[in-house]
């Protein structure tokens, strides 16, 4: 599909003005905007793609610039803006929201997204002190936010209790400084509750995990009142669909870690009971 030059130029202007664009990215965009008269727009755009390709392959671009790079490179990338718009809409009857943090939000979408009654799973940032945080700020641990998912669900088909039960299967509840390969406070596990009922369910569920004595270390998952949830950039939404091969590698690593942890804890439990 041929790109619309006017649309691409508009995207370039917006990215130049975007405060989240890094300075060296902005300079690369300015080269395209302020191209020499003897150089065609398409030629300059090709040079831009060539300059950014090594960084794009390593996912080292800011999310909005990455989206633009994929667009001009012709790589199909779903637009998740319609899903994100649901975040700002008033919940209709029988719709509720749940917010969970459990490490990188890339891995927290698919396990919920495929369940009955799930309306949308939105990746984002919450629990911090500043408005409109971006990915670099959150990962850099400058704002106090954690990566999280907001789940919009139909409570006639899916209960909050069921969502909490799924959540415990996805995380290491003994690690409050990250999850698996994702380290730092922005990846700590937290259940953010939207009501007294959700808090009661979450606290009862956490106590059940503690009482089960499945884990040899203390359970450190926080239960906090929900604060403003900021949807993440388009690039981070539905990551498992947009980057299936990379997602599968990350997913395998998490599954292996959790399997080994559960096996180790099961052996510990058996040994403890045998001594009793």
Catalogue the active-site residues: 104
* 233 close to 67: Cβ distance less than 8 angstroms: yes
Q: How far is CA 97 from CA 81, 83, 89, 192, 242, in A?
A: 18, 14, 12, 10, 24
> 157 is written with which tokens?
């088909």
> 25 is written with which tokens?
């990215």
Residue position matching structure tokens 């990455």: 66
* 211 close to 245: Cβ distance less than 8 angstroms: no
3-state SS string for 32-50: HHCCCCCCCHHHHHHHHHH
Edge-to-edge strand list for the sheet holding 230-231? 222-225, 190-193, 95-101, 146-154, 118-126, 230-231
* 178 phi and psi angles, rounded to 5 deg: 135, -170
> 103 is written with which tokens?
């490490």
* 171 close to 112: Cβ distance less than 8 angstroms: no
Q: How far is CA 260 from CA 24, 85, 272, in A?
A: 42, 39, 18
* 154 phi and psi angles, rounded to 5 deg: -90, 110
């Amino acid at each position: 599909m041929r790109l619309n030059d006017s649309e691409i130029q508009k995207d370039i202007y917006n990215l130049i003005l975007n405060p989240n664009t890094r300075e060296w990215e902005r300079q690369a965009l300015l080269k395209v905007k302020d191209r020499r008269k003897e150089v065609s727009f398409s030629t300059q755009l090709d040079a831009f793609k060539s300059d950014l390709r090594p960084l794009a392959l390593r996912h080292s671009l800011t999310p909005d610039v990455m989206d633009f790079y994929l667009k001009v490179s012709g790589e199909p990338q779903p637009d998740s803006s319609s899903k994100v718009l649901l975040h700002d809409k008033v919940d209709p009857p029988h719709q509720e929201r749940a917010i969970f943090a459990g490490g990188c939000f890339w891995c927290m979408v698919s396990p919920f997204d495929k369940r009955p009654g799930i309306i949308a799973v939105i990746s984002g940032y919450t629990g911090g002190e500043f408005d409109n945080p971006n990915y670099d700020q959150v990962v850099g641990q400058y704002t106090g936010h954690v990566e999280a998912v907001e789940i919009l669900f139909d409570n006639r088909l899916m209960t909050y209790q069921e969502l909490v039960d799924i959540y415990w299967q996805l995380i290491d509840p003994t690690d409050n400084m990250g999850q698996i390969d994702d380290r730092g406070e922005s990846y700590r596990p937290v259940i953010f509750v939207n009501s007294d009922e959700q808090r009661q369910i979450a606290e009862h569920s956490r106590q059940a995990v503690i009482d089960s004595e499945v884990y040899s270390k203390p359970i450190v998952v926080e239960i906090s009142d929900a604060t403003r949830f900021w949807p993440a950039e388009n690039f981070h939404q539905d990551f498992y669909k947009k980057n299936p091969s990379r997602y599968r590698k990350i997913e395998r690593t998490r599954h292996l870690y959790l399997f080994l942890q559960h096996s180790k804890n099961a052996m510990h439990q058996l040994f403890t009971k045998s001594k009793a």
